[in-house]
């Protein structure tokens, strides 16, 4: 996304992780808790919370580097002085829940995933890590011309979505 903004290929983008650049402007649209999903019957499935240190040997199903889920997992484990054990990684964030449900490992999913559907089944745990959040931002370059349509879209999105969000 950063490359597309820099080259002017896109005027605006929705980002789930911070994009760095002195010429970028950002509006925070939403922030939500990131949960740990585990397969039904997993040893942690009956708990409601877990610490990162308790996940040291757990195999993770995650995205490849470059996606917010992987960046967050790597950050949380590094802060705890641990190495993330990756059982399976891919390019399709939507497939993670199915792979977790099938027993390939555990993984991080945004809280909204819990509300989206009950299938495939997983158990949800909160993480004892304040940084376990996903923040959605609208990002654009302030040093280039934005068309009237792009400015209007940005303003509508900012007006309708940049409200304080509460976790369910």
How many whole angstroms separate alpha carbon 32 and alpha carbon 155?
Answer: 22
Domain ranges in the chain with CATH number 3.40.190.10: 2-29+135-161, 31-133
pLDDT along the chain (168 residues), means of 10: 90 90 90 96 97 97 93 96 96 90 96 85 96 94 94 91 54
Cα–Cα dist 82/73, whole Å? 11
Phi-psi label, residue 156: left if phi above 0, alpha if psi -120 to 50, beta otherwise = alpha
Closest CA to 61 of 98, 31, 28: 98
Q: What is the pLDDT of residue 122?
A: 96
Tell me the pTM. Answer: 0.84
Q: Domain 31-133 falls in which CATH fold? A: D-Maltodextrin-Binding Protein; domain 2 (3.40.190)
Tally of CB atoms within 10 A around 107: 26
């Amino acid at each position: 996304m950063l490359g597309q903004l820099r080259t002017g290929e896109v005027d605006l983008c929705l980002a789930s992780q911070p994009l760095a650049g002195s010429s970028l402007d950002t509006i925070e649209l939403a922030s939500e808790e990131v949960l740990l999903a585990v397969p039904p019957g997993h040893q942690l499935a009956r708990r409601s919370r877990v610490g990162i240190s308790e996940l040291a040997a757990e195999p993770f199903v995650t995205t490849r580097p470059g996606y917010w889920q992987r960046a967050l997992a790597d950050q949380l484990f590094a802060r705890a002085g641990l190495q993330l054990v990756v059982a399976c990684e891919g390019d399709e964030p939507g497939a993670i829940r199915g792979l977790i449900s099938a027993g390939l490992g555990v993984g991080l999913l945004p809280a909204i995933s819990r509300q989206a559907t009950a299938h495939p089944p997983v158990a949800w745990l909160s993480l004892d890590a304040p940084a376990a959040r996903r923040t959605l931002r609208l990002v654009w370059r302030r040093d280039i011309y934005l068309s009237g349509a792009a400015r209007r879209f940005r303003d509508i999105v900012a007006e309708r979505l940049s409200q304080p969000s509460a976790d369910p």
